[in-house]
Amino acid sequence: MVDYDVIVAGAGVSGSTAAAMAGKLGKRVLLIDRNSAQEPGKKTVWGWVCGDAVARSHITYVQKNLGNTFSDAALGLKVDGVVALSPDLGYKLPFDGEGYSLERPLFGKALFDEALKNGAEFKGKFSVEGPIVEDNKVKGVYGKNEKGEEEKITGKVTIDALGIASLLRRKLPENQYIDKEIDYEDLELTGRFIYHADESFDDPKYYDRKNALIHLNQQMAPGGYGWVFPKTDGRVNVGLGVQHRSLEIRNKKFGASDNLKSLIEKYVKWNPLFKSYKLDNTGKNGEGYWSVSVRRQMEGMVYPGYIGAGDSMASANPLSAGGIGPALIGGILAGREAATAVETGDASLEGLWNFNSAYVKQYGKSMAGMELFRIFLQSMNNQDIDYGMKSFITYEEAVEITYGRIPELSLTKKVSKVVKGMGALRTFKDLVWTTQKMKEFNNLYADYPKSPKEFPEFKKKVVSMVNEAKARMPSSPV
């Protein structure tokens, strides 16, 4: 006898969505989190640390599958899209299309309430410490309850939605499907603040009320970017992400000792929007630090009795670091797959394999290619990025790349522009190489293994291509 059909560990966006989906399909679901029912999805003591931006298409996907609606208050401010600016602020590139600058605590609560409405039980203030594993199959979770007592809970399928530092993923038995650790070089260390700022400020290079702005700048945000996202009531979400390795290289070159906090302070000082500003610390959610993974999602995301969704599977987009959309998609598909496994009585690797294929088809197919493009970007200094964005790709080609579709670069038109120095030549050659490899990756993922048997060969190819890119284009921010 098991306690539940489906255990969902983590009541963030992916977990609450998964629980809502499995509940809607009539399964007996337990949703667990270390937070109370009043604060679902709070990531750490720092709050709901996030840039809060999400594409509308992802919200629509959830509504279509759950049949729910979100209040205007939870969706926050409507934006036209995300716009990335080159280091010299001379070139703009749009991402993602229309979307929202969410009120993250309210949005998380709406998904959580949907899970409860669909019949999920909630166990709050429970710290998950690891999976119960018997005969190489996950049978549930163990951890400490509200009273600090050790407790075991069993389920037919366990969904891991514990976020990036998941103790379930990290304590799985050795296996070839899911990497237990995320490479430090594939993490962005991030920090963000919510400020009240001057709403009348008008310079779309620094603040745009209609768009979420990203500032690419390898000196201000080595290996990452800074962002200024508008919110309702004249507030902004401002933050910065860095790659540890790029920061080290940049500090060494300039004899500097900057860290994430000092870089954010400098970024805020640099931006004229913040001539005057005030922290909005509502719900102690005004200042926070956490990490986002910018690698491709785990090559495989299931193990006998176990499905991973959202950040626990490193599913954020490697180029934009947007993880809400993939966490929502992962949640819907994990909830559905778990329900099917309960019905068929087959939670074996083969039985759950369809989750991998469905996720890859719905969202994950272009993420390995995006990772290559991220590696390419991190290998360039500011001048190379400025020059490359202006000279090597057209606006339309750049947009295609941000959607993971690979354009046929109109090379002949550009070759004449290439001979403007060795740096530019190297960048150009790397761009051509990268887009070629992205195409290969997309083809590889279009043919995702139909069963675990074909998986080892697939994974070998993926890992070898990523390693080749890292060796060819090491981080070189300055």
**428 forms part of the interface with ligand FAD (CB under 6 A):** no
**109 forms part of the interface with ligand FAD (CB under 6 A):** no
Residues in contact with ligand FAD, counted by CB under 6 A, come to a total of 38
**Long-range CB contact pairs, 84-88, < 8 A, 24+:** 84/214, 84/215, 84/216, 84/225, 85/205, 85/213, 85/214, 85/215, 85/216, 86/216, 86/385, 86/386, 86/389, 86/390, 87/215, 87/216, 87/217, 87/218, 87/219, 87/382, 87/385, 87/386, 88/382, 88/386
Pick from 46, 68, 127, 476 the residue near ligand FAD by CB under 6 A. Answer: 127
**186 forms part of the interface with ligand FAD (CB under 6 A):** no
Q: Binders of ligand FAD among 153-172, rule CB under 6 A? A: 161-163, 167
- Given the complex with ligand FAD, which of 35 and 154 has the nearer CB atom? 35
Residue nearest to ligand FAD (CB): 323
Pick from 24, 27, 28, 43 the residue near ligand FAD by CB under 6 A. Answer: 43
Say if residues 19 and 11 touch (Cβ distance below 8 Å).
yes
* Options 49-57, 243-251, 337-345, 430-438: segment touching ligand FAD (CB under 6 A): 49-57
**310 forms part of the interface with ligand FAD (CB under 6 A):** yes
**364 forms part of the interface with ligand FAD (CB under 6 A):** no
* Nearest distance, CB of residue 266 and ligand FAD, angstroms: 17
Pick from 239, 300, 308, 477 the residue near ligand FAD by CB under 6 A. Answer: 239
- Given the complex with ligand FAD, which of 220 and 424 has the nearer CB atom? 220
In a 10 Å sphere around its CB, with 0-12 CB exposed, 13-18 middle and 19+ buried, how is residue 269 labelled? exposed
- Measured at the CA of 309, the angle between CA 111 and CA 77, to 5 degrees, comes to 40
Q: Binders of ligand FAD among 253-292, rule CB under 6 A? A: 290, 292
185 contacts: CB under 8 Å, gap ≥ 6: 243, 244, 245, 470, 475
* Options 4-12, 174-182, 430-438, 441-449: segment touching ligand FAD (CB under 6 A): 4-12
How far apart CA 145 and CA 375 sit, in angstroms, is 42
Pick from 25, 35, 235, 375 the residue near ligand FAD by CB under 6 A. Answer: 35
How far apart CA 375 and CA 276 sit, in angstroms, is 36
What type of residue sits at position 304? P
**131 forms part of the interface with ligand FAD (CB under 6 A):** no
- DSSP 8-state assignment for residue 44: B
* Nearest distance, CB of residue 165 and ligand FAD, angstroms: 7
200 contacts: CB under 8 Å, gap ≥ 6: none
- DSSP 8-state assignment for residue 211: E
Q: How far is CA 199 from the centre of its chain?
A: 29
The mark string for 311-350 relative to ligand FAD (x by CB under 6 A, - otherwise) is: x----x----xxxxx-x-----------------------
Contacting residues toward ligand FAD, per CB under 6 A: 10-15, 33-35, 41-43, 49-54, 127-128, 161-163, 167, 190, 192, 239, 290, 292, 310-311, 316, 321-325, 327
